[in-house]
Every structure is written in C-alpha cells, then in structure tokens.
Structure 1
Amino acid sequence: MTLKNAMITICLVFLIGNAQAQDFPGVPGNIVTHSPASSGMYIGSPSIAILPNGDYVASHDLFGSKSTEHVSAVSRIFSSSDKGKTWKQISEINGQFWSKLLVHQGNLYLFGTNRHHGNTIIRKSVDGGVSWTSPTDAQNGLLKEGEYHCAPMPFVEHDGRLWRAMEDAAGPPKQWGKRYSAFMMSIPLQADPMVASNWTSSNIMRYDSTYLNGHFTGWLEGNAVIAPDGSVLDILRVDDRTTMEEKAAIVRVSADGKTATFDPATGFIALPGGSKKFTIKYDAKSGLYWTLTNLVPDTVKAANAGKSPSGIRNTLGLFSSKDLKTWKFHQTLLEHPDVVKHGFQYVDWLFDGKDIIFLSRTAYDDGLGGARNNHDANFLTFHRVRKFRRH
C-alpha cells in the first residue's frame, strides 16, 4: 500500500468512526451513517434486506466530486441485530454502485453496476455481508459489459422466475434521461444468479422524444411489478419538467421475459412523486400495491411554481392502489418545510410483519453546515411505519 492510499484509508476510517460516534439531535429516524458535505462524498442508493436469522442488512454507495463513482465506486454494508435501532459497518466494497441487496436461495446478493454507467454485476455473500465475491467473469457475477443504469429496485418472484428491471445507458452520452432505455432481466428461480448465461434480457425500449406531446425527457429506475392479471410490468419513473402533475410509465413484458412493449397512449399513469425514484410492492394480506414516494403537496406546488417536481424531495408519503393506476394517499411519513437543503429520497423498503421498514437517503441539518443540497444527502437513516395497513 502506498503512503497516499494509507492516508486515504486512515481518513476514511476516522470519518466513519467519528460519524457513528456523534449525536445528531433532530435528525428523524435512526442514523445508520453520516457523511458531511465537506467530504465531497454523499450518501446514495439505500438498500435493505432481512437475513434468514432476522438481522437487518443495509447498503449505500458514495457519489460526489471526491468519490470514485466514475472509476470504481465504493459501497458500504451495515448490519443491525436489534431491528434497526443501532447499526454497525461490516464491510466496504470497491467496485459497486447503484445496488440492491437481495436474499435468495438462502444467500445474500448485491446487484448493481461497478461504477456510474458501468457493467451490470452481482456479488454473493455467505456470511451475512461481511465478505463478498468479485465479479471476475461471466461465470462469476459479471452479467453484462457496457454502460448500464439502475437503482436499488425490487426483485419479484413470479411464475418460476426472478424479475428485475434495468436500463441501458448507451444512448446519447452526457444527456441525462435521453441516454436511458428500459428493459427487463429475469432468471429461473433455481438457476445460479452468478452465471450470466442464466439471465434472460428483453429488448430495450429506447427514449422517444415524441412521448407526452414532446415533453418527455426520460424514464429510469424501473420497478418489476406483477399486475393484477398476472402479467409482468416495468413501472418507471418519468421525467417531464413542464408540469407538477407527476406520472409513471408502464412497460409490458412477455411471460418469457424476452419482449417489452409500450403504448404511449395508455402507458402513462398519474402517480404523486412519480418523477423521483419509488418502489412498488404488492401486499397479499391487504390485496393492495403499496409505495413510498416524494409527493409534492399543493402548498409546496404553489410556492415552487415553474420548478421541476423531480427536484422537490422534502416530503415522503405512503400510498396504495388496487390496480396500479389510481393511487390513494394514506399518510405523510417524513417532511421538512425547506425544499433546498432537505430531502428524504431514494427510499428502499420492505414489509416486516405488520410494519414497513425503510431506509432513506436523507439530507438534513448536522451542525456542520448541513447537506450540500437536498440531492447530495449527508445521512442514511432507518425508519419504521408501524401497523401500516391501519392507516
């Protein structure tokens, strides 16, 4: 190890230990970790999983001007043995970004890319996230080489397969939104997810500037969702900066996972918070689909007229739907009056008995100048919605 690398490692260890030792009164939820704005490295891509023994596992990556996101991104893994009250870091991974934790076949996996717009990769852990495999080749976790995009989006089991939405990022370079093309990946439940040839990919659905009367500027961060009729859907975040009326897009996928189709006349639906990352899950007990989204309340819309709703992330709400088209508001989970330097975003969540548990990429006051802005979060926070079905 060079002296420079050694100093960097010492500084990182100091920052991690210092962050976990500090108390941050007023920050909502339980703090998993903190990265001050002065570090130039911001908290991204929250993901959460529950291990077979009941322990919680959390992950996040680091992005920003002083991170290595564009070369070989860094992700960190945390665990909690007391239902999310306290957390400890158990590992750090070099070469992992935009990733989702998954418990499958009794093992823990981490699926994402190796860097910003990098290869699609998956890693495996047999010790609860302490150690991980390396994606060396197509037999061991290197699933797709090229430029890909994703977020910590859900995996869904259906009809003997595991489904996961992704985006190709090989469109026009340096044009956010326009470069992203939607597609679906799937694999038989009994197949080894570490082997690239076991995965099936649909055709990619390219960006089309004619959608939404020419106001469509991108779709991304798709959810694999099973529709009420049993068909497979990819429900994506939609960028349209001309209106505060947010929406999502529904791409349909064939039963064999090979063909994706989209009808722009019927495929766009109204969804509060749909211009930001959201996760949709089906709950068999209530017979409803649930989501946590960054809605923009009417008072905030009025105060921010003319702004893009995708940049307003200071309110998090709980919604449900019977048909994935009409969404009912249940309650506000987190909010702050300031839209500039406060945000509760990129929420990843799970059902946990009668509750919902979730992680938030949180931008909030820390006594050190706060977050750089609402997007460049300085906290990873854990939260619980108790008895969510009663609301």
Structure 2
Amino acid sequence: MTVEARFSRSPDGAIWTRGGPAYPFFTRYLSAFDRVRVLARVADVPRRDDGAKRVDGAGVEVWPVPCYIGPAQYLARRAAVVRAVRAAAEDGDTVVLRVPSPLGSLLAASRERAGLPYAVEVVGDPYDVFAPGVIRHPLRPLLRQRETARLRRQCRNAVGAAYVTDRYLQARYPARTGAVTAAYSSIELPAEAYRDGPRRPDPGRQGHTLVSVGTLEQMYKGVDTLVEALARLVATGLALRLVHVGEGRCRPRLERLAERLGVADRVVLTGALPAGAEVRHRLDEADLFVMPSRTEGLPKALIEAMARGLPAVGTAVGGIPELLPPDDLVPPDDPESLAGSIRQFLTDPARMAAASARNLGRAADFADEPLARRRDVFYHALRTAGAGAGTRSERLYG
C-alpha cells in the first residue's frame, strides 16, 4: 500500500513516525492478508525522535522510497523514487493505493502499463486542495485540472474503491461498474477517545475557549479565517481565546495576522502534539470546536472532537456536511458568518448542550468495531477480486 507519510529509519533499521500512521494502523489489513508492505518516503536519522511510534513490526514491512519534500527535491530524486516504486510490487500482489498521492500515481501508472489490477482508498480531493485561496502557486489551475482528472481515472480503472465519505467523494470520483466499493473512515477511535456523556454548559460562565486542530503547512484549514472571526468577536466585548493544535510553515503568517488584528494575546498555537491523550486534553479544556476549512475529505479532527462531546462549527465543504447539521455550517472564507455562528453557540447554553449530545452520538458511528467490519468486508472482497485477476500472493501492498 502507498501512503503519503514521511517516516524515519534509525540505525537499527526500525521505522518510526511522529505524526503519521503507526503499526496499529497497518495491522488492520492483516484481517485479510498475511503480510503488508507499506510504500512510503523514508529518511535515515541518527536516532529516533522523542515520542515517535514504531511503524514496522510482525506482518508489516516498510518499502523505503528516497525521502523528498516539495517539488524541487522530488524532481532531483525522481529517478530513484520511480525505481523504488516500480520494484515494490510483484505481478501477483494485491495493490492498494491511498489516493490522491504522488507515490500512488506512480504505482498506478506502472500497474496500468503492465495490465495489472490495483485498488484505491480515496482519502482526499485534489479539486478542493488546489482551489483558489487554498494554495499559492502559478500553476494552481493546471494542477487542479490535472490531479482531479488523474484521480477520476484511477477510480475508473481500480478493481475496488473505498472512500472516507458516504457520498461526497463518490459523486466526484465514481468507481467503475462492477468494482468492489466501500465507505469507511481511516480514523482510529479507541474506547478511551469517547467521553462518558454529553457536556452540560455553565450558563454563568464568562470566558470561553475555542479549539481548532490541523496542519499549518498550507492554509487550507482556514485558521486565518478563524483568527479574523476571533478579532471580530473580541471587538464586541466577548471574552474569548483560541487554541490551535498543529504546526507548519504557515505559522509565522498566522502569528503576524493575530498581531496585526490585536489578538495575539488571545491566540495559543501549541505546535504539533502527539495523537491521543494530549490532544484530547486540549479538546476537553475547550467550549467549542471550530473547523473553518477551505477543503476537507471526512475530517478526523472533527470526529475526534465530537467524540469528546464538543459542540462544533464547520464550513460547508467536503465531507463536513456529512457530520454536522446545516445550522452548524458556514461558508468558507467568511469570517463574518463564522463569527456570527460562534456567537450564537456561545450565548445559547441549551443549543450547546443539544449539539454536544448529537455530536457524541454521531461520533459513535466511527468507533473501532463498526469501522473494522466495513473494512474487513472490503479487504476480503479485494483478496477475492485479486485472486480472480491472477493474484497468487497473500501480501497486500498499499
């Protein structure tokens, strides 16, 4: 299987990750296959990072691709990357590509030229990723057209297609007739990720905390819109602060924006935090989760917040409307509407309580057991479909 993650390899040969999928994630494929080979970028390091989690283990191996960051490094190392990708899968292997993905596209093209099958797990939407305002690049319109067409072709050619949404991605990137299809999120929510019961807001509380979670590598999470909305609310006298969990190269830009709007003292950027207890602690300290994204698939961060019983405001993009009701949605890139929705929530304890109960109930759909059942049916169907196409091995390459 291909993943768009960057792993590190310590001198003893072990593979590690700080923020990407770790060993338990890949063991889910072992329900149907004997071995899993993970195709990913790997960089050698002198020692493992503090807090890093092991990726490889019993039944799971990592096939290293030369590590690159950004288009310039990719072009410089492209020949070595292509060689590694082509050598990763044998003719009889079942290949699963988590797309959109540069590595996945390279392997898909290789399989297509050889007349060999592959399946896809669609986890994002390039049409939205390359939308205006999401990234700044002179070739953005061309990239949007090319990558969208590429993903549509991959879904049409795949013997199986799974989607992280129930409807949204399926409508834009339909599978071919007769293909094995499924819908399930990639999220991992153990029992401890769920709050015991809904929240009961305190009507007399004066100050409130907003929380958002997401990468700051690009601006597609819309945190700049949220900072602008925060400034509007603070200007009206609302006692409010924002905590954002996430790191990336756009952080200085956000810090400058908060300073210019006079809310730097009300914005806390935690940087990257280990998944699990530390993120849940930040969620539990907040009153309202805000997802002002310009693009999304089915956002894991929102589901995790809902599992903590947090009321939430989100934008009407991607798979967010599959999680939140219309009254809790606002247009993207609209700080005025976002500020208005936040104010309505924070000044209405009854609405906060109702949203907490509703979100907690919806998050139960993403517990480990129901998702595992859907995935297992898909993986076993892929194994059968692969065998029908001449697959001899019982390995799964993603």
| TM-score between the two structures when normalised by the length of structure 1 | 0.24
Larger radius of gyration: 2
- Which has a greater percent of helix? 2
Q: 1 or 2, which has the higher strand percentage?
A: 1
Superposition TM-score, scaled by structure 2 size: 0.24
**Which structure ranks higher in relative contact order (CA pairs < 8 Å, sequence separation ≥ 6)?**
2
